[in-house]
A = this chain, B = another copy of it.
Amino acid sequence: MFIIGERINASRKNVAEALKARDSLFIRKEALNQRKAGAHIVDVNARLFADDEVHTLKWMVQTIQKDSDLSLSLDSVNAKALAQALSSHKGRAMLNSVTYERECYEKLIPLIREFRPRVIALCMADDGVPKTAGERFEIGSRLVEKLTAGGVAIEDIFIDPLVLPMSMDDQSGRAFLDALRRLSTAFPKVNTICGLSNISYGLPARRMVNQTFLVAALTEGLNSVILDPLDRRMMANLKTAETLLGKDEYCSAYLSAFREGELEIEG
């Protein structure tokens, strides 16, 4: 399971403040805490800084990588910001995210060709947000074909079937899960991913929703995820589900997580 930490996102108030104040200590700590909690790479998002996304995103990359080799997922559609961030990034970055929208795709494909990042490909096209599983599958399939034809290695593609809030559409979880299963069946070599917490936007007890949705998505074949690794129950659910889904020989990862106290969760 490939885990991307979601916490360094300017839509969170304390992150926005830290970015504004260029508080490198706060940002570095958020990055390293997520790695310590199990994130393989960390997402950085400065979309709120529209006027200054270019400098802010670059500053984030330089700040976090100053004394660490942590790789970053660059969460932006601003080609200029991405170009600078990718140039500054040490090692291999991830691009979050390209879509099938013509403008987005054509802007980002040259950067993908130049820097060879891993790519999150979001199932959205020019004709609006896809509602059904079928539409998402269609767009996802076209993205896989177009990206591989464009020279991206299939194992570098992470398809996101698009998580939309349940509060806007009570079938959005179902549509996501069905699209996920169809995509991972049709393209077994492609990675699948999602930004988990969108599902609970507008609902109460959001963590409960996110934690439960993770298990459903893992059951349907998800093999990478963007989440808050500091949510202990979330990480415990992830480990337990991996074991139950037959990916943990002799349950040894589960038993080791138990010994480390990672499963001592109330409720």
Spell out A's residues near B (CB within 8 Å).
Answer: 166-167, 170-171, 173-175, 177, 199, 203-205, 208-209, 212-213, 215-216, 218-220, 232-233, 236-237, 240-241, 243-246, 248-251, 254-255, 258, 263-267
Contacts and interface: CB of A to CB of B under 8 A. Distances in A.
28 contacts: A166-B243, A166-B251, A170-B243, A170-B246, A171-B246, A173-B244, A175-B246, A177-B219, A177-B245, A199-B244, A203-B254, A204-B255, A205-B264, A208-B236, A209-B240, A212-B237, A212-B244, A215-B216, A215-B241, A216-B216, A216-B219, A216-B244, A232-B267, A233-B267, A265-B266, A265-B267, A266-B266, A266-B267
Contacts of A167: 251
B166 A258 contact: no
A259 to B, nearest CB: 9
B171 A244 contact: no
Contacts of A249: 170
A199 B241 CA distance: 12
Nearest to A241: B212
Which secondary structure dominates chain A's binding surface? helix
B173 A265 contact: no
Contacts of A245: 173-174, 177, 216
Lowest 3 A-B CB distances belong to which pairs?
Answer: A174-B246, A233-B267, A173-B244
